[in-house]
Structure 1
Amino acid sequence: MTTLFLLVGLPGAGKTTLARRLAEEHRAVRLSPDEWMLPLFGLAEADGKRDVLEGRLLSLGLGALRAGADVVVDFGCWGRDERSAIRWLAASAGASCRLLYLPVDQDTQRARIAHRWATTPDETFPMTEAAILDGRAHFEEPDAGELAGHRLDPPPAPWADWHSWAADRWPSFT
């Protein structure tokens, strides 16, 4: 059975470092929108283009799972609904899903973001203090049931299933 590794955490938590290691160890396809946004648009968020890109990457990832490859999703997935949708999509592709949460305290997060910007500015985005605090305020930390893979919330109204929710959340998802 193929596996989708779903990395969850805020900027500076170490998701991309872990994603690279998992991709190498499991010979997996690694999907990281951050690595596409700068070359394509020069910005982290470009008028909704990130959502479009993530939808295409998810479609690609599901195809890879169906073809027998493991996949690492390095999106951050701050919201429970996003994580539930991706877990459901992985199961619908016949794959298991391993949710890997990387918590990070504020001081470590700030230090890592500053280091990344100082050492690899061509591979990252600048982050203001306001953006860091806003991200922390909007992040929905996974609980024990979600981390264990036992609980999969139903999609919120008015969506009938997670596929419909995903197609609305990520406009290019097919």
Structure 2
Amino acid sequence: MTTLFLTVGLPGAGKTTTARHLAKQHNALRLTPDEWMIPLFGEAEADGMRDVLEGRLLSLALEALRLGTNVVLDFGCWSRHERSAIRWLVHSAGASYRLVYVPVDHETQRARIADRQSTTPDQTFPISEADLLHARSLFEEPDAAELDGHDIDGRPPGWPDWHAWAADRWPSFT
């Protein structure tokens, strides 16, 4: 059975380093939006284009799983709804799902981001202290049940299913 590994965490946590390791270890396709945003748009968000890109990458990930290829999806996924939708979609595609949470304390996060900005400024985005604090306020840390892979509800509140929710969250998701 193919597996989708979803790296979850804040900027500077080490998700992409973890994703690279997982891709090598499991002979997996690694999909990292940050590595597409700068070449395509020159910035992190680009007027909502990140959501469009993530939708296309999610569709690609599901197709790769159906074709028998493991996938590492390096999205960050700050909300439980995002993670639940991806998990439901992966199971619907007949694959297994593994959430890989990469926690980081604030000081380590700041140091890593500063180092990344000084050593590879053309491959990263500037992130201010205010941005870091805002991200922390929005991040929903996975709880023990989510980390253990307990079942999720088959339907998100107000939506017919997780597929419909995902299509709204990621506009280009098909």
Tell me the TM-score normalised to structure 1 length: 0.98
Give the aligned partner of residue 97 of structure 2.
97
Check conservation: 1:155, 1:165, Cα contact below 8 A: no
User: Deviations 1:11-41 (Å, cap 9, x if unpaired)?
Assistant: 0110000101111111101010000000011
Structure 2 residues not aligned, in runs of 5+ = none
Shift in Å at residue 153 of structure 1? 3.8
Shift in Å at residue 105 of structure 1? 0.3
User: Deviations 1:73-99 (Å, cap 9, x if unpaired)?
Assistant: 100000000000000011011110000
Amino acid in structure 2 at the alignment position of 1:150: H
Check conservation: 1:12, 1:109, Cα contact below 8 A: yes
Identity of aligned residues (%): 72
Q: 2: distance between equivalents of 1:15 and 1:81?
A: 19
Shift in Å at residue 43 of structure 1? 0.6
User: Deviations 1:22-78 (Å, cap 9, x if unpaired)?
Assistant: 111111010100000000111101111000000000000000000000000100000
Q: 1: distance between equivalents of 2:157 and 2:87?
A: 18
CA root-mean-square deviation: 0.9
Give the aligned partner of residue 40 of structure 1.
40
Q: Which residues in structure 2 correspond to 1:1-174 (within 5 Å)?
A: 1-174=1-174
* Number of residues of Structure 1 aligned to a counterpart in Structure 2: 174
Check conservation: 2:88, 2:154, Cα contact below 8 A: no
Q: 2: distance between equivalents of 1:29 and 1:64?
A: 8
SS at 1:158 equivalent: coil
Shift in Å at residue 154 of structure 1? 4.6
Tell me the TM-score normalised to structure 2 length: 0.98
Go from structure 1 to structure 2 and tell me whether the alpha carbon gap of 1:116 and 1:155 turns closer, same or farther (over 3 Å shift).
Answer: farther
SS at 1:75 equivalent: strand
Greater mean alpha carbon deviation, residues 146-155 or residues 51-60:
146-155
Check conservation: 1:6, 1:73, Cα contact below 8 A: yes
Shift in Å at residue 155 of structure 1? 4.0
Go from structure 1 to structure 2 and tell me whether the alpha carbon gap of 1:164 and 1:46 turns closer, same or farther (over 3 Å shift).
Answer: same
SS at 1:104 equivalent: coil
Check conservation: 1:81, 1:155, Cα contact below 8 A: no
Amino acid in structure 1 at the alignment position of 2:140: E
Go from structure 1 to structure 2 and tell me whether the alpha carbon gap of 1:125 and 1:159 turns closer, same or farther (over 3 Å shift).
Answer: same
Check conservation: 2:6, 2:98, Cα contact below 8 A: yes
SS at 2:7 equivalent: strand
Structure 1 residues not aligned, in runs of 5+ = none
SS at 1:74 equivalent: strand
Check conservation: 1:4, 1:90, Cα contact below 8 A: yes
